[in-house]
Amino acid sequence: MEKIIIKVKTKSKSYPIIVGKSIINEIPNILKSNNLSFEKCLIIVDSKIPKNKLKIVKKKIISKKKFIYYFNATEKNKNLKNINFILNILFKFNFSRSDCIVSFGGGIAGDVSGFAASIFKRGLKFINIPTTLLSQVDSSIGGKTGVNNNYGKNLIGSFMQPDLVISDINMLSSLPKREIICGYGEILKHSIISNKKNFKYLKTNYLKILKLKSPFIEKSIADSCKIKRNIVQLDEKEKNIRKVLNLGHTFAHAYEASLNYSKKLNHGEAVILGIISVIKF
């Protein structure tokens, strides 16, 4: 299946989401076709990412100077201390607003990278390469960035639309089944708030999607991205209709907090439980 390009157009920025297999190998052409260039880039990489995948991304990104920051992407590390560490790297190596941060990891890495990109000199370029199903269908789209503090989750942040999102399906093959189910929870949420057609497609093909079979996984990701894209374009700053994307999340955050954000309950699992809770109540 050929790569799918989903165009997002908000008041602050327009950008493409590109979905497909092995597309990290096409990064030079993708950057060129989208007129994205920069002299320096900081790749913020989730420390759990396989080194061979990072090697490809590092090689393919066109930049005179490349720097790597290995980030232990956990909810506890999603804080201002790590944001300040990232900012100091950017200052130390004299980054400018025309340079770039690249996030290579899941939703936590993307949230931290995007927030750092939004506040460094009031904004520099930001490319998101989400590596989990959850981040490919949710957090990489729409520009929400932020970190946690003692008072709660994602209470410090900004809206920072990326310049480009690259969702490579092959990155999902190394994920445990539990992570795939987490992402599927958000796909299911998007289908519930959209229409019966999307929901019926998932109901018919959920086993193939969970097994990452083509073209079902690509279509489910693309459809999910389009649903969120359509809502974000109507309400970029979550003043009205975008709040529908939080379906199940009030309960979900409560469940996560009650377990101190431990690995006993992942975010996607919490969202599924949250949706069930909403239906029951």
Catalytic residue numbers, as ranges: 122, 144, 186, 228, 238, 242, 246, 249, 253, 267
CA pair distance 115, 118, nearest whole angstrom: 5
Output the CA–CA distances (angstroms, integers) from residue 179 to 144, 203, 255, 263, 266, in the order listed. 21, 19, 18, 11, 8
Helices (H) and strands (E) in the chain, counts: 10, 9
Q: How far apart are CA 267 and CA 50, in angstroms?
A: 22
Task: For CA atoms 21, 6, 179, 51, give the dihedral sign.
Answer: positive
Q: Angle formed by the axes of helices 196-210 and 177-192, to 10°?
A: 170
Rounded CA separation 43/37 (Å)? 15
